Amino acid sequence: MALFTIGYEGSDVEDFVSVLKAAKVELLVDVRDLPLSRKPGFSKNSLRSHLESSAIDYLHTKVLGDPKEGRLAARSGDRQRFERIFRSHVANEAAKKTIRELALQAETKNICLMCFERDHKDCHRSIVCEEMLKIKNISVKNLGVPKGFCLKAA
């Protein structure tokens, strides 16, 4: 079993879901604070529908989303402030509990953490993975979404 991460920046929903299917992801964990998107197919209900038609479960974990102050710091390029804000945000008991539960699930099924940023190093999901690895030694793979992947996978 593996823990995957993925960002949908620059992708379309068909390629995105095809990548998840190819990786045999069983549960997509949406770690966005607000599961909304201007990109068609990536808002919570629409994404859940696309995933369900591909036999992939969906879970939104608001408690692991980057709060607005953290997003603003990241957008302005202040990486240190962003990390300080997010690490403080996930230090609460609810976030720790969710991280523990996800780490345990990753032992028995392929789960994937999802957010917007294409590069996991620019996203708070890398910090969530780091926290999960403190609990369980699991393999982490960062997925990319090549344009036209759904056509190649068909």
Q: In this structure, what DSSP letter does residue 116 have?
A: S
Per-residue pLDDT reduced to its tens digit, 32-65: 999 999 999 999 999 999 999 999 999 999 999 9
CATH 3.40.390 holds for 2-153: no
φ/ψ region of 111 (left if φ > 0, alpha if ψ in -120 to 50, else beta) reads beta
- SS3 of the chain: helix, strand, coil, percent, to 5: 45, 15, 40
β partners of residue 77: none
Per-residue pLDDT reduced to its tens digit, 107-152: 999 999 999 999 998 899 999 999 999 999 999 999 999 887 776 6
Task: Parse the chain into domains and list their residue ranges.
Answer: 2-153
Work out the burial of residue 84: count CB atoms within 10 Å of its CB; fewer than 13 is exposed, 13-18 middle, 19 or more buried: middle
Average pLDDT, the chain: 94
Considering the entire predicted model, what is its pTM? 0.93
